[in-house]
Structure formats: C-alpha cells, structure tokens
Amino acid sequence: MARVLSGIQPSGNLHIGNYFGMMKPMIEYQQNSELYCFIVNYHAMTSVHDGRRLAQGTIEAALDFLALGLDPHKSIFWVQSDVIEVQELTWILSTMTNMGLLERAHSYKDKVAQGITPSHGLFAYPVLMAADILLYQAEIIPVGKDQKQHIEMTRDIAISFNHEFGETFVLPEPQISEELATVPGLDGRKMSKSYDNTIPIFLPKSELKKRVMSIVTDSTPLEQSKDPDTCNVFALYKLFASSEKIQAMRQHYLGGNYGYGHAKKELLSLLEEYFAPYQERRLELAKNPATVIDILQHGTAKAREKAAITIELVREKTGLAYKKFF
C-alpha cells in the first residue's frame, strides 16, 4: 500500500478550494493506502501570532476533517507540533539546503511581493515541509497546484541528503488533480484565505447565501446569451452538479433570459445539499472537543512511532548518535 501524506494549515476557515484540492482526495485515499494526515500548526505560525486563534483554528480544522469523513481508524491523524521529532529533522535538513533553493520559492517570493516583511520562519518554511514529508518516508503527496514546487524542493533536499550520507529517504511525488487544479474564488482569482474570497465549507445558511450572492459576474443583460466557460458561478457549479445538471445550466446560459442570480440560487441550493450531512456531523462532534483531542493523541502516538525509526537512522548516519561510533 502506498504511503500517502499531506497537511493543512489551521490559519482560517477551511474553504471549498481546500476541500477539492486536498481534503477530498485525502479522504478518498484512506480506502486503499496508508494515510498520514495532519494539521500543520508550526507552519501556520508564519502568519498567526495569536495563541487563542491558533489553538482554536487547530481544533476547528480537526473537526472539519473528521466531519468530512476522515476516519482515525483508517488513517494516522495528528497535529504537527505534537511530534517534536520534526523539529530535529528540520534542523538537520536545513544544513543541507542551499540558500539559492529557498530564494527561488514562488510562495516566499509572492509573499514578499505582497509587502510582507519576511521572517526567517517564512523563508525556512519549505525545509520544515520537507521534514514533514521525509520523517514518514511518504511516497505520494496530494496537494493543490500551488504546493508543487514545495514537493520538488523536498525531493532536492532528500537527494542532497542521500548523496552525502547514502540512500536514506524515499523521494516523494506530488499528486495534483488536473481537472480541478485550482478552484476559483468569489472574485475569479484562486480561492484563498489570504485573498478573503472564499466560500468556507461550514457556514451558517445566511452567511453562505451572502457569499454566493457576492460572486463576481460580468454585466451581460438578462435577456442575452452568456458564456458559461468564463463565468465563476458556472465554474463552481460544475464542482457539485451531476453531468445532466451541468448540461442543463450550460443550455440556460446559452439560451438567454437566464440571469446570474438564477445560477447563483441553483449553486447555493446544491452547496447546501452537498454539505448538509457533514454539517450535522460537525455540530455533533463540536459538542465534545475532548473526544477530538483524544483522537489526535492516538494519532500522535502512531506518528511518533514511525518518526522515531527515521530519526534514529538519520542520527546514526550523520554522527549525531556519536555513542554508536565507539
């Protein structure tokens, strides 16, 4: 069985871009692979410096995953900072990561271009991500397109280590679903917490309605024919609708006398229908945070067992386990 691993930052409400890009594929993988799924709170510290918010976000993200169908019996599910071994591996890997490699990271360069004053943590982010992956010798990493370069960097770092110390790490492969590589946000850019253009997965009805109604469309008059293939509402509708419904909406767009308001209402009702059972499950789970913490603790124990094997090997190879040399 392939070893599949991915993580998500608890830095804000998880949205339908996260759902289709990462969460749904991960939940599907648990059926026929060895699944490692975790909440990357160390990474989130590159943008969240508010203890209560980080802690709350961590539990919310865990609730989201569990409600959406992540099964802790079929997977290893934990919070990144509970496996402290990852920090040791991060340091070790950082000594074999070229500055030039990190300087080329798109996500780092984008943040700097947005005017963020970068911390060392933001710069070193991909090294921590490499440690996340290599610590568990993961083979397949389901992520959205924006994370592809980070996986390539992980491979480069693993290759450097293997070259200097002999075969140690498995080289991971990114798994990116091509047909829904990027879910568009309310404004047509990539849906992202950092653009405030998201449709969160779990929202009260009235807020969900507000979000859907605020999807940006062009100003083609009601009577005129509209192009479905350039419309954000249609792009989002396609994620949820059956092929018959997609076909029907396409015909409505092309036929005219069909407004964006109609399309938005249809999208809203599909969204509500799609997430309703998960919403119920989430409300149930949220009544009992202690159960969620318990699930995460079980996951931590399993993850640490695997992590210990890699750390021991790395300590031996690098000479950190100096006693073994005498």
Residues annotated as catalytic (active site), given as ranges: 111, 190, 193
Asked if 220 and 232 count as a contact pair (C-beta separation under 8 A), the reply is: no
Quote the CA–CA distance of 24 and 18 in Å, as a whole number. 8
Site for ligand ADP, residues 178 to 237, rule: CB under 6 A? 182-183, 190-194
* Angle CA 175–277–200, to nearest 5: 60
Residues 28-67: x/- map of binding to ligand TRP (CB under 6 A)?
------------x--x------------------------
Complete DSSP assignment for 170-211: PPPEEE--STTS--B-TTSSB--GGGT---BSS--HHHHHHH
Which residue, 141 or 311, is less far from ligand ADP as judged by CB?
141
User: C-alpha 182: how far from its chain's center?
Assistant: 12
Residue 6 makes contact with ligand TRP by CB under 6 A: yes
Q: Given phi > 0 = left and psi -120 to 50 = alpha, else beta, which region is 63?
A: alpha
The site partner of 129 among ligand TRP, ligand ADP, none (C-beta below 5 to 8 Å per kind) is ligand TRP
Residue selected from 86, 143, 208, 267 as contacting ligand TRP according to rule CB under 6 A: 143
| C-beta nearest to ligand TRP: residue | 7
Kindly identify the residues of this chain, within the stretch 276-305, that bind ligand ADP according to CB under 6 A: none
Q: Is residue 241 within 8 Å of residue 263, measured between CB atoms?
A: no
Kindly report the number of other CB atoms within 10 A of residue 287's CB atom: 7
Shortest Cβ 182–ligand ADP spacing (Å): 4
- Are the C-beta atoms of residues 242 and 259 closer than 8 Å to each other? no
Give the range of 7-15, 85-93, 270-278, 308-316 binding ligand TRP by CB under 6 A.
Answer: 7-15
Binders of ligand ADP among residues 130 to 149 (CB under 6 A) are 143-144, 146-147
Q: How far is the CB of 251 from ligand ADP (least distance, A)?
A: 27
Residues present in the chain in total: 326
43 binds, among ligand ADP, ligand TRP, none (CB under 5 to 8 A by kind): ligand TRP
- Contact string (CB under 6 A) for ligand ADP, positions 4-23, x = contact: ----xx-------xx-xxx-
